[in-house]
Amino acid sequence: MRSIRQMTPQCKLTDYVSLPQMETIIAPHVVHDVLTRCDAWEEREKKISMPSMVYLIIALALYPTASTREVWRRLVEGLSEDAISIQDEIPTAGALCQRRQQLGVTPMRMLFDRCARPIAHVSTASAFRYGRRLVAIDGVLEDLPDTDANRTVYPLHCLQEHSRSPFPQLRCLALMECGTHVIFDAELSTVQQGETTSARALLERSLIADMLVLMDAGITCCHLFAQTRRIGAHALGRLNSRDWSKPLELLDDGSYLVAMTCQDSEQGKQEVMARVIEYRLKHPQTGELSPVIRLVTTLLDPELYTREDLIQLYHERWEIELAFDEVQTHLRLSQRTLRSQTPQGVEQEFYGLLLAFFAVRSMMYLAAVQAGWDPDEVSFAHAIHVVQRSQVRFQQANHERLPHLRQALLQELVQERVPKRRLRFHARVLKRTYPRFKHKHYEHLHVPCFKGSFLDLVVLLI
């Protein structure tokens, strides 16, 4: 039996553009169904079909240093040399750009909605507490290419010299499963839209009754707590030093109850009973005490939910910060902006990024379960390299060998084990100094080209 994939002469190269190592997570039939529901199939296929374009957009996140044409080459690498002529079959950059515009944002958004979901089993370490699935919500800003189109839709947050971003920015508010780092829903907006507005839409869409959601101080508010309880879920968040500081009832363990009240245009006046826990941190070297840290939760019973457990539980919120670091530092290589020059392309590319992250994290979870590891122990950076290297092997293999290759990929993912995390304290400081050059402004973007030679600009001193 042949183990090498045989190419059908009647098929075009675009029919073989895919990510076969991810097909159990982002299934081809789901891709086709989404394209049908969105009425997004191409009128004429030529060299680029719409399914191949979906896989290309996802793969852009896996190969951040490669151009779009080079990413296409990576996707077809490993196919029979008799079936392709690289120069003749690789689409031009203009053709790829035009197909992306024809595809639009809706199919990528719907595909993410269809595929992304919480995946942890109840036995997964750190995924459940008090019988509830542990999730976290937080926001991140993504730098975009500084084009006129992006500036129009994603204007700068402010114009102050030392406060504004040098690039237009997209705000992404994400809902993540803490035990697996899987982002299963996201709300994209401009930086002008506050996180609370996006959070309300996100929770309404994806929070369910068996969840316990962790919130950072910038998101914690009465509106979200009321919404969480209305759904049947519970919340744990951090408070500033001013809000809800007057106890309604002191509890035996030192925490106290407060009544959170707010006014909503749709729900009217809302009141939520919550419990506030206050504590300080002691510096391990100097013994110096930190300012008072305040947590607020809808878990009211001090016997079932002790102060110590909730304080330690809140630090699981940091998992979403680590997930953002995985996306920005390891998947997108930190300082790079997104590729897309238009707002539609930005949103489309970002959903491709979320799909790629979900697929990689899902494979890491499956590998951890098979190895008996905590999902946190699987290296994300190693996983990215494994997925990148596997493309050639999967494209070369026939259909019968794919299950064997997928099992081998899961085994390869657990060849690198992340050591146990150390307890560390870091000040929130910048390592990089401010540059001595002035900030780049809009007028610096479109500098006219000089048609003469360099020496025509030289003025010699007598």
Residue 263's pLDDT band (cuts 50, 70, 90): confident
Indicate whether 301 pLDDT > 60.
yes
pTM of the predicted protein model: 0.92
Yes or no: say if 105 and 347 are a contact pair by the CB < 8 Å rule: yes
Give the angle subtended at the CA of 443 by the CAs of 437 and 447, to the nearest 5°. 90
What would the pLDDT profile of 136-190 be if each residue is shown by its tens digit?
999 999 999 989 899 999 987 765 555 567 789 999 999 999 999 999 999 999 9
Residue 14's pLDDT band (cuts 50, 70, 90): confident
Phi, psi for residue 149 in degrees, rounded to 5: -65, -45
How many Cα atoms within 13 Å fall on the side-chain side of residue 75?
Answer: 33
What would the pLDDT profile of 31-76 be if each residue is shown by its tens digit?
999 999 999 998 887 789 999 999 999 999 999 999 999 999 999 8
Q: Rounded to whole angstroms, how far apart are CA atoms 27 and 24?
A: 6
Q: Rounded to whole angstroms, how far apart are CA atoms 22 and 220?
A: 36
The H or E element containing residue 265 is none
- Tokens linked to 65: 């240093």
DSSP 155-172: --S---TTTS-SS-EEEE
DSSP state of 44: S
Q: Rounded to whole angstroms, how far apart are CA atoms 198 and 186?
A: 9
Q: What Cα–Cα distance (Å) separates residue 159 from each residue in 76, 154, 194?
A: 45, 13, 18
DSSP 118-183: ----TTSTTTEETTEEEEEEEEEEEE----HHHHHHS--S---TTTS-SS-EEEEEEEEETTTTEE
Q: What is the per-residue pLDDT for 1?
A: 44
Residues 6+ apart with CB under 8 A from 152: 343
What is the percent of the chain with per-residue pLDDT over 70, rounded to a whole number? 90
Q: What is the mean pLDDT of residues 379-390?
A: 96
What would the pLDDT profile of 273-298 be if each residue is shown by its tens digit?
999 999 999 888 888 898 999 999 99
Q: What Cα–Cα distance (Å) separates residue 279 from each residue in 133, 260, 293, 376?
A: 26, 20, 5, 28
CB atoms within 10 A of CB 155: 14
Q: What is the per-residue pLDDT for 187?
A: 97
Burial of 305-329, coded b for 16+ CB within 10 Å and e otherwise, reads bebeebeebbebbebbeebbebbbe
Q: CA dihedral in degrees (400, 404, 409, 414; nearest 10)?
A: 170
Q: Rounded to whole angstroms, how far apart are CA atoms 226 and 260?
A: 9
CB atoms within 10 A of CB 248: 13
Yes or no: say if 288 and 282 are a contact pair by the CB < 8 Å rule: yes
